[in-house]
Structure 1
């Protein structure tokens, strides 16, 4: 899959994550993460995002995420939705 346009998914509500993706042609994956639980779960959130990108075979993307305490399955769903919207 290839990101063709900017896209987003999620909200800024509690227990959710807002994800924006943008094309990053030939420059790999750039991840910017803000989280209210960064100290405790920052590495886990990044792992879930990177694993989801790997599963979708995304190699060039700028991804910005603002987490408000989302669980892993919510993070995965929001990333996948944003990616699919960006590939249309």
Structure 2
């Protein structure tokens, strides 16, 4: 599936994550991770794997996912990615 609109889920509060999804005209899944440097070094690859896993599970293609992490746990990241993708997919079907 492909999304045709931008959508968000989450918040920029402590222990949360703001996930923004948008169509990727160049194709493929691109992840833009913003977090503290120490978190990125220790957990960056794991966060990206969690995001890619949820995108793959939902069978979404050609998407840019911006992840602004504030210390969220994996289950929160998965939930935010899923919600943002569901919002983008629902918005695209109303046109």
> Which TM bucket (shorter chain)?
over 0.9
2:48 corresponds in structure 1 to 46
Q: Distance in 2 between matches of 1:67 and 1:26?
A: 25
Equivalent position of 1:3 in the other structure? 3
Output one character per residue of 1:11-58: Cα deviation in whole Å (capped at 9) or x when no partner.
000110100000114611111001121111111100000000000001
Scaled by the length of structure 1, what TM-score is found? 0.94
When you count helix as a share of all residues, which structure comes out higher?
Answer: 2
Deviates more, 1:48-57 or 1:29-38: 29-38
Matched, 1:23 2:23: yes
RMSD of equivalent CA atoms: 1.0
Aligned to 2:80: 78
- Which of 56, 59, 69 is the aligned partner of 1:57? 59
TM-aligned CA deviation for residue 2 of structure 1? 2.1
After TM superposition, the score normalised by the length of structure 2 is 0.88
Measure the CA separation in 2 of the matches of 1:61 and 1:2: 7
- SS of 2:5's partner is coil
| Residue 66, structure 1, aligned to residue 45, structure 2 | no
Number of equivalenced pairs: 88
Hey, which bits of structure 1, 4+ residues long, moved more than 3 A? Answer: none
